[in-house]
Amino acid sequence: MGTYRKESDVLGSVRVPGSAYYGSETQRAVDNFPISGIMVDKGFIHSYVMLKRAAAIANLATGKLDGRTGKAIIRACDELLAGKFLDQFVVDVFQAGAGTSVNMNVNEVLANRAIELLGGRRGDYKRVHPNDHVNMSQSTNDTYHATIHISAHIAIDNELLPALFGLSSALHKKAREFSSIVKVGRTHLQDAVPMTLGQEFSGYAKSVDEVTAALGAASSKLLVIPLGGTAIGTGLNASKAYASRVVVELQKMTKEKFRLAPNNFAAQSSQREELAASDALKEVAVALDKIANDFRILTSGPRAGIHELILPEVQPGSSIMPGKINPSMAEMLNMVCFQVMGANAIIERAADSGQLELNVFMPVITFNLLFSIRILTNAVGAFTKKCVNGVKANKDAIREHLERDLSIVTALSPYVGYARAAQLARIAYKKNKNIKQVAMELKILDGPTLDKILDPKGQV
């Protein structure tokens, strides 16, 4: 068995693993919440540590924190930001409200590392205290909320938006590549008038462009951070200069234009910006889900379906049917989109459930928001690389479908009227002939005129 140390808090003594940098409050959270086995997002921890570093610098600048202690905390932050001690963040994503356990996990790890840097032993909080020093001028209620904004904005702007730009570029490229391929359009899953495959792909590309722009706009709202209000927005225990100095330091570290909320009472008690970001993620998911659905329909077959698209073959599709290949990347994207839509419902419910000066459900908002960003980022990247970049047009199937398309009769309506054109279509369908054959038999127009009117290329 490993060694332990005893730490004390308001509820009594707690046994903490001797090797741990976290302390009693983190250990209580580990003991109380063995719920999912999913730990708090590492990007969130990284952003929280950046905030703690900025807070230490601000407290040094305002004279609240002594130089020796402050510098040790900053050094500890720098080590964590370099990737050390990440295994020390052990709180389950389903935990007590507001995120106090996560805040204290960060405070305790930084305090114990700072203690070591000052020559002390972990748990000797007389040197550096998690609450008195690392958490100085702060509350979970403002810092945790601010960290949601910081981490989500960085993840969206640095990871998800570039992935969506890559998908858009790939779709636009395919739209140009397929611009001369005329095919049957479809509505209600039934044959419709002709279009080009390039036009179809241009629609996909534009949809991605539009939801990407909406997501960027929602992400910009996260630049406003609810910081400096401490417990409920009054700023108790924080100096007037503290919050503005923290923002300056955050801007230096992130290269982002974070700014303080104009009213901490509104900012700290509401999750409007998080909900807006989640709504934008849902909008992205809806657009991507449509594209994935269309890819699966258009590649259906290969013998008994539409099969107008040929997707890259990435893996065998059946454990019993030899040679079967499925649209695996599109299926994956569908499932990720479902997850994001479900996460949006959770965030909406949590955002709606705040009371008075605090929404205690920030941890579940954080988990679902950051998880959605991550899986969308990874799914979009994989779908672009392993599906869109290699998709091909099955020109033989497209030509065969086009030759049998009854909806091209629509072009005859101005010449013979809607009713007569509909009659032609029904006759052609029942006799299993194409529109031109029936029109010639009924002597509707002469051959050259029919060729000109019914030419699919003239209808796109």
| CATH no. of 406-459 | 1.10.40.30
pLDDT tens-place string over residues 273-295: 999 999 999 999 999 999 999 99
Strand-pairing partners, residue 8, are 13
C-alpha distances (whole Å) from 137 to each of 124, 142, 143, 240, 241 are 21, 10, 10, 10, 11
**Taking residues 310-317, what's their average pLDDT?**
97
C-alpha distances (whole Å) from 80 to each of 85, 353, 437 are 6, 34, 75
So what's the pLDDT on residue 2?
76
Chain center to CA of 387: 19
Residue 307 annotated among the catalytic residues of the structure: no
So what's the pLDDT on residue 51?
98
Does CATH place domain 149-225+268-396 in 3.40.50.1370?
A: no
So what's the pLDDT on residue 191?
95
**Taking residues 190-199, what's their average pLDDT?**
97
Q: Residues of 223-249 as b/e, b for ≥16 C-beta within 10 angstroms?
A: bbbbbbbbbbbebeebbeebbebbbeb
Query: Do the strands 224-225 and 259-260 form a parallel or antiparallel pair, or are they unpaired?
Result: parallel
Residue 353 annotated among the catalytic residues of the structure: no
Instruction: Determine which one of 188, 220, 278, 407 is catalytic.
Output: 188
**From-to residues of CATH 1.10.275.10 in the chain:** 19-136
Position 205 pLDDT exceeds 90: yes
C-alpha distances (whole Å) from 206 to each of 146, 167, 183, 218, 287 are 33, 11, 20, 19, 10
Question: How far apart (Å, rounded) are the C-alpha atoms in residues 332 and 378?
Answer: 11
Span of 61-70, 276-285, 337-346, 437-446 with lowest mean pLDDT = 437-446
Q: What is the mean pLDDT of the chain?
A: 97
Residue that the structure tokens 């409050």 belong to? 25
Question: How far apart (Å, rounded) are the C-alpha atoms in residues 348 and 276?
Answer: 9
Instruction: Determine which one of 36, 244, 318, 353 is catalytic.
Output: 318
pLDDT tens-place string over residues 407-441: 999 999 999 999 999 999 999 999 999 999 999 99
Rounded to a whole number of angstroms, the CA Rg of the chain reads: 30
Q: State the DSSP code for 41.
A: P
**From-to residues of CATH 1.10.40.30 in the chain:** 406-459
Does CATH place domain 19-136 in 3.30.230.10?
A: no
Whether the CB-CB separation of 257 and 172 falls below 8 Å is answered with no
| Residue 35, Cβ density class (10 Å: 0-12 exposed, 13-18 middle, ≥19 buried) | exposed
Whether the CB-CB separation of 380 and 166 falls below 8 Å is answered with yes
Position 1 pLDDT exceeds 60: no
**Taking residues 359-373, what's their average pLDDT?**
98
**From-to residues of CATH 1.20.200.10 in the chain:** 149-225+268-396
Residue that the structure tokens 């065998």 belong to? 316
Q: Which helix (H) or strand (E) holds 57?
A: helix 42-61
C-alpha distances (whole Å) from 350 to each of 88, 101, 224 are 28, 18, 20
Whether the CB-CB separation of 288 and 337 falls below 8 Å is answered with yes
Position 89 pLDDT exceeds 80: yes
Alpha helical stretches, state H, 387-446: 395-403, 413-416, 418-431, 435-441
- Transcribe 328-396 into DSSP letters: HHHHHHHHHHHHHHHHHHHHHHHHTT-BTTB-TTHHHHHHHHHHHHHHHHHHHHHHHHHTGGG-EE-HH
Chain center to CA of 132: 36
So what's the pLDDT on residue 304?
96
